[in-house]
């Protein structure tokens, strides 16, 4: 059934009791052309694009919990394409264009809201850095505007402009950036993939990778072995764990990232605002809660929860930027596991093991990448060649010294 005003009206007459299930709950078959491990946004988007754009429909997405139980359902939902390096800008801009037509593509309201992303600057040097970033974006056809202090004051008068340590001098604005509803993105891809014949198998943990000779030919799971022509990993924070089942060591560390939501208040924050002098960013959900976050935890972990020092650091950042946030009550906070690469940029590539493909290293920025990641990974799986927009996301770039160090702050995940 297509979602439409008419279907909404028709179902209203039956008290909304007769909506069909959005996706099936199939049992795993013994063999698929492609098995995708990980039912987050990236795994599901890959399945959707494989089925719709490349005609491969014999696909299973296996997920150890429920779909969206990982980072896809835990992030702060920011989408943007305000990158600096040529390896990144075309990929993230492709993603932004796919966000712009996603609701039509999926027949699902993913609540894409282009309310703007504003990165604040606090010094002349930082302004110059943002001017360079904005120019790089514009050279690639991406929208960017460098705002002065008066323009930022008009947009967000509640900020602490005259903070003695971190006075706000202006900001870099990407108007087409914004937010999307993370759960809806997962559900939209799941429903669209399911309608194309993809089996989405929840509560099915991969416990091993099947090896025949040097090849990977499937997965061992808690629901039995599933054989596959191609096995594709999209397990985000668990990448190093699952890859180690095949004896692969990757340039990835896992760290927790936390986020917070406050009680609901009246409309206050116009878009997404990031503090340029510390780790803090904030937006406001459609329900009114302030959604904010900051830095990753400083040590490696696979636990989906964070620690108190980072909570304190985030709250200090919030207080420095907008002191009134100290009066608001915190409703919830939570954590997810980040797959941090050593240069802060992702990997979409074959692995040295024939039959095994890798989509990983999204760090804390993979939600915005979901549509393009799905498209580019599907392209690689279907054709065996990298998609033009993701051609620099090779695994061997670390060995070749061809890293894409977006922030230029060094080869340590805790510095990105
Ligand atoms: C607090 C927080 C805030 C963030 N904010 C943003 C943001 O504002 N903007 C942005 O762009 N990005 C953000 N991110 C990052 C973004 O959420 C991730 O980069 C992205 O979601 C990762 O891709 P995914 O959706 O496929 O991952 P996931 O949703 O984590 O999917 C991986 C799936 O693999 C499953 N899995 C793992 N191991 C196995 C196994 N052995 N067998 C079967 N299944 C397995 C997991 O259960 C999980 O569902 C944030 C992340 C967090 C935690």
357 burial class (0-12, 13-18, 19+ CB within 10 angstroms)? buried
Q: Which residue's CA lies nearest to atom 37 of ligand 1?
A: 235
Calculate mean pLDDT across residues 149-163.
97
Reference 236, options 259, 210, 255; nearest CA is: 255
| Ligand 1 centre distance from Cα of residue 389 (Å) | 21
pTM of the model: 0.97
pLDDT band, residue 408 (cuts 50/70/90): low
| Ligand 1 centre distance from Cα of residue 149 (Å) | 36
Domain ranges for the chain: 26-81+84-108+182-252+343-415, 117-176+253-339
Calculate mean pLDDT across residues 2-28.
94
Whether the CB-CB separation of 120 and 276 falls below 8 Å is answered with yes
Over the stretch 99-120, which tens digit does the pLDDT of each residue have? 999 999 999 999 999 999 999 9
pLDDT band, residue 416 (cuts 50/70/90): low
**Rounded Cα distance, 80 and 99, in Å:** 10
| Ligand 1 centre distance from Cα of residue 333 (Å) | 16
The CB of 255 under 6 Å from ligand 1? The reply is: no
pLDDT band, residue 1 (cuts 50/70/90): confident
**Rounded Cα distance, 164 and 291, in Å:** 26
| Ligand 1 centre distance from Cα of residue 192 (Å) | 20
Over the stretch 199-252, which tens digit does the pLDDT of each residue have? 999 999 999 999 999 999 999 999 999 999 999 999 999 999 999 999 999 999
Name the CATH architecture for the domain at 26-81+84-108+182-252+343-415.
3-Layer(bba) Sandwich (3.50)
CATH class of 117-176+253-339: alpha beta
Q: What angle do CA 49, 54, 56 make, to 5 degrees?
A: 90
How far from the centroid of its chain's Cα atoms is residue 409's Cα? 21
Q: Which residue's CA lies nearest to atom 33 of ligand 1?
A: 38
Q: Which atom of ligand 1 is nearest to the CA of 65?
A: 47
| Ligand 1 centre distance from Cα of residue 219 (Å) | 20
The CB of 361 under 6 Å from ligand 1? The reply is: no
Calculate mean pLDDT across residues 154-164.
95
pLDDT at 373: 98
Position 415 pLDDT exceeds 70: no
The CB of 69 under 6 Å from ligand 1? The reply is: yes
Beta-strand ranges (E) seen in 15-97 are 31-37, 59-62, 78-79
- Token pair recorded at residue 208: 């091993």
pLDDT band, residue 43 (cuts 50/70/90): very high
The CB of 230 under 6 Å from ligand 1? The reply is: no
pLDDT at 412: 62
User: Between 379 and 1, where is the model more confident?
Assistant: 379
pLDDT at 298: 86
Position 171 pLDDT exceeds 60: yes
Calculate mean pLDDT across residues 76-99.
97
Q: Is 271 helix (H, G, I), strand (E, B) or coil?
A: coil
Q: Which residue's CA lies nearest to atom 35 of ligand 1?
A: 38
Whether the CB-CB separation of 393 and 348 falls below 8 Å is answered with yes
The CB of 76 under 6 Å from ligand 1? The reply is: yes
Burial 117-146 (b: 16+ CB within 10 A, else e): bbbbbbeeebbebbeebbebbeebebbbeb
Reference 106, options 44, 177, 35; nearest CA is: 44
* Average pLDDT over the chain, rounded to an integer: 95
Q: Give percent of the chain with pLDDT exceeding 70.
A: 98
Q: Which atom of ligand 1 is nearest to the CA of 259?
A: 1
Reference 377, options 227, 183, 236, 191; nearest CA is: 236
Over the stretch 242-280, which tens digit does the pLDDT of each residue have? 999 999 999 999 999 999 999 999 999 999 999 999 999
pLDDT band, residue 410 (cuts 50/70/90): low
DSSP 405: -
Q: Which residue's CA lies nearest to atom 3 of ligand 1?
A: 75
The CB of 322 under 6 Å from ligand 1? The reply is: no
Q: Which residue's CA lies nearest to atom 50 of ligand 1?
A: 75
| Ligand 1 centre distance from Cα of residue 126 (Å) | 30
pLDDT at 406: 85
| Ligand 1 centre distance from Cα of residue 82 (Å) | 21
The CB of 65 under 6 Å from ligand 1? The reply is: yes
Q: Which atom of ligand 1 is nearest to the CA of 78?
A: 8
Over the stretch 291-323, which tens digit does the pLDDT of each residue have? 999 999 988 999 998 889 999 999 999 999 999
């Amino acid at each position: 059934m297509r979602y439409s005003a008419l279907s909404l009206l028709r179902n209203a007459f039956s008290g909304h009791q007769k909506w069909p299930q959005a996706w099936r709950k199939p049992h795993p078959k013994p063999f698929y052309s492609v098995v995708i491990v990980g039912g987050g946004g990236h795994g599901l988007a890959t399945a959707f694009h494989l089925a719709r754009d490349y005609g491969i429909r014999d696909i299973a997405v296996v997920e150890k919990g429920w779909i969206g139980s990982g980072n896809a359902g835990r992030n702060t939902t920011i989408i943007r394409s305000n990158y600096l390096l040529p390896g990144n800008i075309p990929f993230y801009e492709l993603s932004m264009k796919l966000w712009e037509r996603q609701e039509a593509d999926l027949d699902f309201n993913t609540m894409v809201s282009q309310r703007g992303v504003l990165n604040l600057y606090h010094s002349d040097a930082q302004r110059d850095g943002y001017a360079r970033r904005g120019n790089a974006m514009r050279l690639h056809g991406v929208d960017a505007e460098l705002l002065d202090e008066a323009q930022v004051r008009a947009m967000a008068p509640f900020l602490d402009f005259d903070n003695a340590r971190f006075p706000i001098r202006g900001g870099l604005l990407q108007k087409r950036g914004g937010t999307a509803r993370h759960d809806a993105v997962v559900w939209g891809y799941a429903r669209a993939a399911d309608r194309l014949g993809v089996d989405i198998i929840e509560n099915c943990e991969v416990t091993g990778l099947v090896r025949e000779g040097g090849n990977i030919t499937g997965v061992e799971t808690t629901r039995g072995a599933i054989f596959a022509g191609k096995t594709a990993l999209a397990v985000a924070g668990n990448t190093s764990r699952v890859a180690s089942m095949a004896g692969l060591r990757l340039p990835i560390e896992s760290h927790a990232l936390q986020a917070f939501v406050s009680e609901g208040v009246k409309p206050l924050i116009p878009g997404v605002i990031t503090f340029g002098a510390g780790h803090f960013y904030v937006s406001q959900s459609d329900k009114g809660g302030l959604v904010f976050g900051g830095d990753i935890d400083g040590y490696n972990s696979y636990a989906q929860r964070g620690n108190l020092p980072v909570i304190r650091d985030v709250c200090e950042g919030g207080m420095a930027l907008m002191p009134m946030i100290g009066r608001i009550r915190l409703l919830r906070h939570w954590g997810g596991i980040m797959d941090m690469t050593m240069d802060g940029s992702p990997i979409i590539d074959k692995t040295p093991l024939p039959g095994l493909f890798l989509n990983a290293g999204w760090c804390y920025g993979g939600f915005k990448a979901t549509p393009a990641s799905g498209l580019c990974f599907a392209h690689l799986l279907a054709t065996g060649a990298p998609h033009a927009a993701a051609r620099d996301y090779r695994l061997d770039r670390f060995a070749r010294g061809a890293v894409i160090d977006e922030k230029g702050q060094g080869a340590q995940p805790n510095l990105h």
